[in-house]
Every structure is written in C-alpha cells, then in structure tokens.
Structure 1
Amino acid sequence: MNNLFKEHVKKAQNIIITTHIYPDADGIGSQIALCMALKSIGKNAICVNEMPLFDRYKYLDPQDVVISYQEYMDKPFTEIDLLIVADTNSLPRIGKNTQELVLNSKELLFIDHHPCPRELKSIHCIDTSMAATGELVGNLISDIGVEFTHPIALALYTAILIDTSSFRYPTVSANTHRLIAKLMDTGVRPPRAFNQINGTKKIGYMRLIGEVLSSAQTNESEEVAWICLNEEMIDKHKSDAEDTHGFINHLLILDNIKVACMFRQNGKSVKLSMRSADANIDVGVMAQALGGGGHNHSAATVLEGTLEDIVKNSIEKIQLMIDGSKD
C-alpha cells in the first residue's frame, strides 16, 4: 500500500484531494494534512470539495488549501495528474459536481479505512484496521519522508480524535497512540485541540442534550438503547445539527448495552446512527441490513417514514440481529 502511494505521488504534479459531501473532521483533517504535506515536497496540490469549507473547520486550514468545486472551476488545472479521495471509497459520496473531475484525471486513488470489496482494496490505499483515515494519512505522510509540522499534526490529531470518539473505539491500537505521540511532539495539546473542534457551547446546547438524554429508552433486554431528536428541538434550543453527533456516545456507558442508537428526524426522513458497545456486535452489518453502512462499531442509515414507526421497527430488527449473533 505504501509503495502504491509513493508511486502515485512520484508520477503526479497536479494533485486534487477531495472528500465526501457534508464532511466530518476525519475527512477534512485528512485531506488538509495530506495537501500541506504534498505542497511541502513541491507538488501542485489543492483540496476541492463539493461545497465551501464549513466555518467550524477553517482553523484547520491555515494555508487556505480547501476550495469549493465552483471556486476551482474559476481557475481549473490544465491537467489533473492524480485525484485523491479521502475518507470514502464511493464516488457518489463526493458529490455530483466533484465526480466530474474524475473524468479529467489521469489517476484515481482512494485513501480510506471503511469496508470495501477486496478487489477495490487491492488497487487503492484502503486499510480497515486503521482507527481513522487520519491515522492512515499520517503513516503515508511519514512514508514519503515529510516531517510533521504543527498545522499538519493538528489536522491529523483532530481527524483521529473525532473519528474514534476520543480514542474509545476498538480499532484504536498501540500504533494509533504512537502516531498521536509524534503529533503531540509538534506542540499539539489535547485540551486545546478538543476544545477547538468541539467549540464553546451555549446554554441552549446544554438544554438540548438534557432534553434528549432525559427521554432515553431501552428495550426489555436493555441490550439496545436509543435517543430521539428532531429539527424542532434543535431550533428551540438555538443549536445546530452538527452539535448533536456526539449525543449517542452517552448511551455507551449503560449497563448491558450492546447497541446504542440515535434517531434524528429531518423532514420526511430519519437518520439512524448506531454504535456498538460489544466487540462481537457489528453495527456496520446491521446498518447494511437497514439500507446503510459503516464500520463494525459505528454506522448509520437514512430511513423514510414517521419517527415513531421507524423507531419501533428498527429496534425490533436490531434486537433480532443481536439474538441471531448469539446462535
């Protein structure tokens, strides 16, 4: 894999790095860190995303390497030698417009840690044993001889911090922490890095999380727990949907818990996020059975219907899948 990355980089001069639409910190941090590293060795690299960078991530981009597709089209490369897609191995996930860049690229390379077919994995930089795409990118940056600067390290640290829910997922390894140590050697400080990405919250955030958690429920076996929220709740407390992503992790401390769920209604659809609290339970497979996907410990799907019906049907199916895993 490392040699594959080196060969691609060696042959390419004009490099575009993108990530999935509505990106999280792992996608953003990974692409920014990789772009800064490639620029440091003389490559003409830029990050092009479907939409402009969210304000909450701009501190991770001190060199302004991230632009939107529309901005890129104002002054496109004459040739794209290499298009790198970070934190997904599905082209439809990078956005309708950004996909068009693939047609003008000499080479395409996925850098990711999500499950994929073996055939795809064999010709791309995909390693599902990595705790985050940021960990994989950190290793690739080291392999091409680039030393971590503080901006590169902060982007990678933040990517790994968020995608592991503060290092609590089972894919976090000793090697993950060895990389974290190298990143901290550049001056990255965990308290500040945590506060920067999570932001300073308003009182509305506290009231929202209080309302959501006070309605938490479990099924009879207490192996499945869930919380629900909708747009009205978020608006009432003057919060943002981005603030709710970590709510589900509060359920993981419950006794007997195997699968934690969060149902968030958005218009006529409901996003079901799932987390596994048991190494033997694969929520990625469960999410696939419900039309979505993800990791064995973190996954999601989007379902159509009323919140009440979706909660009832989903919890019943999840419990059946848990029972089936015991056979």
Structure 2
Amino acid sequence: MNIIERFHHYIKKAENIVISTHIIPDADGIGSEIALCLAMRAQGKNAICVNEEPLLERYKYLDPEDVVISREDYLAFYPEAEVDLFIVTDTNSLERIGEGMKAIAKKAPSLLFIDHHPCPKEVMAENCIDTSKAATGELAGELIQSLGVPLNREMALPLYTAILIDTSSFRYPTVTGNTHRLIGSLMDTGVRPPHAYNMIYGTKKISYMKLLGKVLASAHTTKDEKVAWLTLTEDLLNKFNVDSEDTLAFINHLLVLDNIKVAIMFREMGPDIKVSLRSIGTVDVGVMARALGGGGHDHSAAAIINGPLDVVIKQTVDKLHEMLLIAESKDCSKSH
C-alpha cells in the first residue's frame, strides 16, 4: 500500500476527523492542517483542527473559516465528541503535539501522521510520510489532489505559505519540479506570490532592520570559515521591540558566505538556547541536530540546549565543526 492508497484507506472509513500539529507550530504544520481540514469538509467529513494552543494572531489570515481551535475550546465545545481518525501534520511523534492533545489522540481508534521528516522505517510504513518532499504542505497538497477535491484559494494560500516557509523561499535542495508544478496549481486559484510573501514575512519597521544589522555585524566564523554563527539575545529583542518569530530567517543570511558549510543561530529563550542549523545541502545538519538532542532535515534542523549562552556557543560550535571535519574526511577517503 503506497502513501496515496493509505491516505484514501484512512479517509474513506472516517467521518469524524481531528487534525493537529506540533506545539509552537510553524506555517508548514498550520498550513497543512488547514488545507486538509477544508478538503475533508469538501468530502462531507466532520473535520476540525485542534492544537494545544490557540492559533497565533500572525497566522489567522491563513484560516478565514476559523477551522483551527485550541484544545481548551475543543473540550469545552465538544465534550462528548467521538473521533474516528486523528491526523497529525508536520511531525511523526505524539510527544511533539502537547500532553493534552496526546491524550485526545490516544482515544481515537485510528492515528495517521502526514509528514516529511525522517523517522524509523516502521513508522513510515504505517503512515503518510515522504522525506523526499520539500514540505509537509507539498505532500498535503498532493494528497488533496488525489481525492479529486478541487483546490480553491482557501486551501491554496495555506499550502503555498507552508511550502514557501519550509523551503526558505524555494532555495533548499529538496525543491523539485513536482514542487513547482504544485505551486503552479496553487497559483491558478488566485494566490499571488508577492501577497503570500508579504503576509507571512510581514512588512518591517526600521527597528527590525536595525536589529538585523546589529546581529549580522556580530557574526562569527571558524578559522576555515566553514561554520558561521549569529547570536540573538533576549536583551536585543527587547531593545529593538521585535517579535522573535520575525527573526527566524536571520540565519539564512549566512548561507551566502564563500566557504560556508553549516550556519548556526543561537537564540536565548529564558534559561534555554535554541540552536538553529542550516546547510547549503552538502552537509546533513539533521544528524548534527540529533547529536545535540534535537532533530530536523538534512538542510534545516534545530535543538534546544540548557545552559549559559557563551558556554553553549563554544561547546556547540566546537562539536559541530569537529563533526563536519570528520564527515569531510570520510567523504575524502571514499573518493580515493
């Protein structure tokens, strides 16, 4: 049974469907769940999106029909609801959807992950997971098309945005001709790239530009310039009054450096440091992130580490640089 057949199998036998995504969701998880929910409703299903927390204000334009609600509201409005199928987008682990949503998921007779992140073969064999896809939104769009549900703009904008964000504006090596063919179908519904880009990235104030300049001015590299990093402190965010969500793309500025292999951004989050990793596609930063206790793709990954910022930076840079040199040494040996 392939992914399409498995998806049809689950959808066909379900009437009451709850769709969720990981905690602290991004546009890929949110866009995918919204589009899938609308497609399920077009099929006559009782579908709803339920996340651990309410949808952030910055994402509400993706959900004009208000299909996404919080777990708290779901339990208040539908205390006796029976769920036939629980779908999770953009992750393949129940541990990442929140304890409350995890409890709801475990009561459902059927569970289906729709995702593009690496996972054990056993998990992949039982779910709709395709690691070759550039974004979960790409897979969700293809699954919707397979149902024969006509794409409309309400589905297309969330999907377009999901792919836009998860590919860093189509710059990652996972982007294929099929990705762009789906993008073409989404644009045919009336989605306009300038509008979609401006809505998710937003127009910026001068304080944002000053913060970006400050952060870039303090960028560092290893001596061989193969690893580069940025640092973003809570003091800086407060000083320039910039939402941390608006800084996610800062790291991408490092990818234009001549000899760059791995880009890192360290961001303070209370007692923890979020370590974001990017590569130009020749280095698997997903493996590096897992070594730090996190995870992700080969070109985009992250981990959260507890500890003082300066200590985390030194230990992380040293470890990742060493991993990079070992990997390059192995590649060199293979070539000979």
Normalising by the residue count of structure 2, what TM-score does the alignment of the two structures yield?
0.96
Task: Say whether the 8 Å CA contact 2:237–2:243 is kept in structure 1.
Answer: yes
* C-alpha displacement of 1:78: 2.9
1:222-261 Cα offsets, whole Å, 9 max, x none, are 0000000111100100111101100000000000000000
Match of 1:123 in 2: 126
* C-alpha displacement of 1:75: 2.3
Match of 1:136 in 2: 139
1:142-166 Cα offsets, whole Å, 9 max, x none, are 0011011011011100000000000
Count how many residue pairs are aligned between Structure 1 and Structure 2. 326
**Correspondence 1:80 to 2:83:** yes
1:162 alignment partner, SS class: helix
How far apart, in 2, do the equivalents of 1:199 and 1:68 lie? 24
Match of 1:299 in 2: 301
Letter in 2 for 1:181: G
Match of 2:211 in 1: 208
Match of 1:103 in 2: 106
1:326 alignment partner, SS class: helix
Match of 2:53 in 1: 51
* C-alpha displacement of 1:309: 1.1
Match of 1:312 in 2: 314
How far apart, in 2, do the equivalents of 1:16 and 1:197 lie? 25
* C-alpha displacement of 1:213: 0.5
Letter in 1 for 2:48: I
**Correspondence 1:93 to 2:96:** yes
Match of 1:175 in 2: 178
1:156 aligned residue (143, 156, 159): 159
**Correspondence 1:228 to 2:231:** yes
Indicate the percent of aligned positions where both proteins have the same amino acid. 59
1:118-165 Cα offsets, whole Å, 9 max, x none, are 000000000000000000000000001101101101110000000000
**Correspondence 1:239 to 2:237:** no
Q: Which runs of 5+ in 1 are unaligned?
A: none
1:200 alignment partner, SS class: coil
Match of 1:188 in 2: 191
Moved more, 45-54 or 262-271: 262-271
Letter in 1 for 2:107: N
1:167 alignment partner, SS class: coil
Calculate the aligned-residue CA RMSD, in Å: 0.8
How far apart, in 1, do the equivalents of 2:147 and 2:234 lie? 45
Task: Say whether the 8 Å CA contact 2:261–2:282 is kept in structure 1.
Answer: no
Moved more, 46-55 or 74-83: 74-83
How far apart, in 1, do the equivalents of 2:101 and 2:117 lie? 20
1:57-81 Cα offsets, whole Å, 9 max, x none, are 1111011100000000012253100
Instruction: Give 4+ residue runs of structure 1 displaced > 6 Å after superposition.
Output: none
1:262-309 Cα offsets, whole Å, 9 max, x none, are 0001222111000012x3310000111111111000001111111111
Letter in 1 for 2:246: D
1:299 alignment partner, SS class: strand
Match of 1:42 in 2: 44
How far apart, in 1, do the equivalents of 2:291 and 2:9 lie? 38
Q: Which runs of 5+ in 2 are unaligned?
A: 330-336
**Correspondence 1:281 to 2:283:** yes
Letter in 2 for 1:220: K
